[in-house]
Amino acid sequence: MSTALLAASRTLQGLLLAELQADPVLQLLFPPLGPSVVSIATPDGMVAQDLTGVSVWLYRVARDEQRLNQPPLRLPPDRLRPPPLPLRLHYLMTPVMRSAAGDPAPETDQHVLGAILRTFHSRPLLSGAFLAGTLAGTDRELAVRLESPGLEEIARVWDTLEQPYRTSLCYEVGLVEVESTRLDERGPPVLESWPRLGQATQATAGAGT
């Protein structure tokens, strides 16, 4: 599905918002009690819109090389479905909080960072009711893993944003699959299946008696 990336982002967004709303202190800052949001916009995009909260920004998309060459899915009796494109998504999660006077709020930022870490440490696998968008109601599962990119890579990301560096967290999310638009292909039917191990053992034993 072409909406898989957005669905993964919405999944992270929804879970994180629910956890922030449940925090005894931070719930005062997020809806319905406060104006802060969890946004999939970039940190500078939130600043430009005068928003406070958390930026969950998809900053890099990479192919999963280990699953890139997976074979087509066989659909009985004689059709082959092209495999999906396997992807790993990389997110930069950045608190963008301000005090009532509009000044930076480092204490609140660090509280939010702790809440993000707690959220995905407690729920490293997201499935079932946690999935949002077009992933909702499917049997898909998203694995969320904390990353530690080098200082040079992080510096390049913030240089791209043209914003002063903010303490952030990086997470990898996988596996996200984008389905092919190619039609199913006709393949040779499976005419005979190999016997199971137990059946083959019994057949061999019977032949030797």
How much is the pTM? 0.80
Predicted confidence (pLDDT) at residue 35 exceeds the cutoff of 90: yes
Distance CA 106, CA 73 (A): 50
Distance CA 99, CA 96 (A): 11
Q: Provide the pLDDT confidence category of residue 17 given band limits of 50, 70 and 90.
A: very high
**pLDDT, tens digit, for every residue of 197-207?**
555 445 445 55
Residues forming a β-bridge with 54: 38, 95
What domain range is 100 assigned to? 4-207
- Least confident among 67-71, 114-118, 133-137, 181-185: 181-185
Distance CA 119, CA 143 (A): 13
pLDDT confidence of residue 129: 96
pLDDT-above-90 percentage for the chain:
61
Cβ proximity of 89 and 61 under 8 Å: yes
Residues forming a β-bridge with 85: 178
Predicted confidence (pLDDT) at residue 154 exceeds the cutoff of 60: yes
Distance CA 149, CA 164 (A): 18
User: What mean pLDDT, rounded, does the chain reach?
Assistant: 85
Domain count for the chain, please give it. Answer: 1
